[in-house]
Amino acid sequence: MENVDVLVVGAGLGGLSASMFLALEGVQVLTVDRHPGTALHPRASGQTPRTMELYRFAGIEHEVLGVSKRASQGLKITVAASLGGPVFHRLVEDLGEVDLSAATAAPWGMAGQDVVEPILLARARAAGADVRFSTEMVSFEQDADGVTAVLRSRDSGAETTVRASYLVAADGGRGRIRETLGIGTTGIGAIAHSIGVVFDADLGDRLERDVTDLYYLQNPEFTGALTNSDTPGRYVCAVDLHPERGETAADFPEERLVHLIRLATDLPDLQPKIQWTGVWEMAARIAERFSAGRVFLVGDAAKVTPPTGGMGGNTAVGDGHDIAWKLAAVIRGDAGPGLLDSYDAERRPIAEMVVGTSLHNAKERMFPELDLTGAPEPVDQTALTLGFRYRSGAVLVEDAGDTDRLENPVEPSGRPGFRAPTVPTTTGSTWDFLGHRWVLFTTGGWRDAVDAVRAETGLDLDHREAGRDFDDPQGVFGTRFGLRDGGASLVRPDGIVAWRSAGGTADPAATLRDVLARVLSR
């Protein structure tokens, strides 16, 4: 029997992110995936600045940017009949039009899943993760102390039993782990089915090469989408499939796909070379719980969202990072098991806003007939990306009546639950200190308290005092963090403000000791 700290099932964006961040924290992690390797389809393209912040924590930000030169010019979204046909609506033309410098120092990324997953895989393995492809989990059982799983090699048929303290389910929207746990889903379910096609061709100037040029197609013969990829001359097309009419993948032989690609591109003589095809379901589902005992759902195992808005893959990365740092804290003994309760409390509301907003995007861009009666109203995607708020036992709010779940990220408040504000320094920004440990930002008066609490608890707690450990050339630190003289702001390893004392306290050591005990469930 093999023994590991964490078993991750699934090596997509969520699973590989969890594996990478766990390994970087020194956790012994085994990851298995039934497929022979990483994704060939560039689905889930694009990285929000929040995702790029997390990638910066892992040291792969520049690699991700490097595999997608399209990031330099941004994103275009067009609703049209075809690439050369009537344009019905143009949604976004230049991400540079939105100035987020007051919210984050991280850029947008435009890389596809097919080129990002190998980067995550390499970083995870370099950090010590054991990642095995062509390996499936046959069964699992959990008890009060851990999870016992049976794994099978799809090549040899050999079976292995693994004992893990925790299991991360990243096995996708059609995975079996959630159902085995008896966790149901909410949401409107299936919206549409499509045939996805990855093809190589010379489209001339039909699509711009230096941007992510995405078309939602409302053609008289089909509804679909077409976009470029990070591989020059390679494109991705999706056309609708109707199983309710009896259609299957067999009804889309290569000659029909070529015909549809020609209609989509307005190039009747095009000779596309098809590299990959597959059926996928566009749906909206959210698991009723994101955890059960020692098992935690991430990515599409936790929620399935329409791709309209590009938030599904980014949410999966956020899930993977969130559960990873919390599991690592518990496994190291820095936190009590109660910290893990914050995973569902924090990530499920994010999933609900992502799915709701993506549904409204789908109605606007692809399915005007979609009935969203009773669905939540959409939220601003910039606020959802950088101005979201966590509410859980790992955040100590100042005012129980303060129920804001979003804020304008370019006007940060520094309130607990929100991302820590970005304050420029002469060498970078305050975010340069985040991502690896708890950080206490202060305006003075806390140094002895931090030293005492570190000595007592052994916690890797960083202390950064304005004017002493970093400068504030623009003079905005106190305003953005909401601190006066003697104030303190405790920021978690994920960059979220856990607690704040705006004007200080009579006994800093006792206060800090109590705060850490509460947010870490010690």
Q: Which residues are catalytic?
A: 216
Structure tokens at 209: 């090469």
Using alpha carbons, select from 44, 11, 26 the residue that is nearest to residue 315: 44
Count CA atoms within 13 Å of residue 494 on its CB side: 31
Listed residue (287, 410, 422) closest to 347, CA to CA:
287
Give Dmax over CA atoms of the chain in angstroms: 78
For residue 501, what are the β-bridge partners? 488
Tokens of 203: 């489209």
- For the stretch 422-428, contacts whose Cβ atoms lie closer than 8 Å and that sit 24 or more positions apart, written own/partner, are 422/101, 422/102, 422/103, 422/104, 422/105, 422/480, 423/472, 423/474, 423/476, 423/477, 423/480, 423/481, 424/473, 424/474, 424/476, 425/470, 425/471, 425/472, 425/473, 426/471, 426/473, 427/470, 428/105
Pairing verdict, β 438-442 and 488-491: antiparallel
- The C-alpha atoms of residue 183 and residue 191 are separated, in whole angstroms, by 21
- Compute CA 403 distance to the chain's CA centroid, rounded to the nearest angstrom: 24
- List the beta strands (DSSP E) in 330-457: 438-442
Cβ neighbours of 208 (radius 10 Å): 12
Other beta carbons within 10 Å of 190: 14
Using only C-alpha atoms, the chain has a radius of gyration, in whole angstroms, of 24
Token pair 């059982």 is at which residue? 141
Count, residues in the chain: 522
Q: What are phi and psi of 216, to 5 degrees?
A: -95, 125
Please tell me whether residue 375 adopts helix, strand or coil conformation: coil
d(CA 214, CA 78) in angstroms, rounded, equals 6
Rounded to whole angstroms, how far apart are CA atoms 358 and 191? 12
How does DSSP assign 85-112, residue by residue? S-EEEEEES-GGGS--TTT-S---B---
d(CA 58, CA 21): 7
Cα separations (Å) of 342 from 13, 337, 512, 520? 21, 10, 20, 10
Tokens read off for 311: 């938030």
3-state secondary structure 291-325: EECCEEECHHHCEECCCCCCCHHHHHHHHHHHHHH
Minimal CA–CA distance to 15: which of 1, 36, 29? Answer: 29
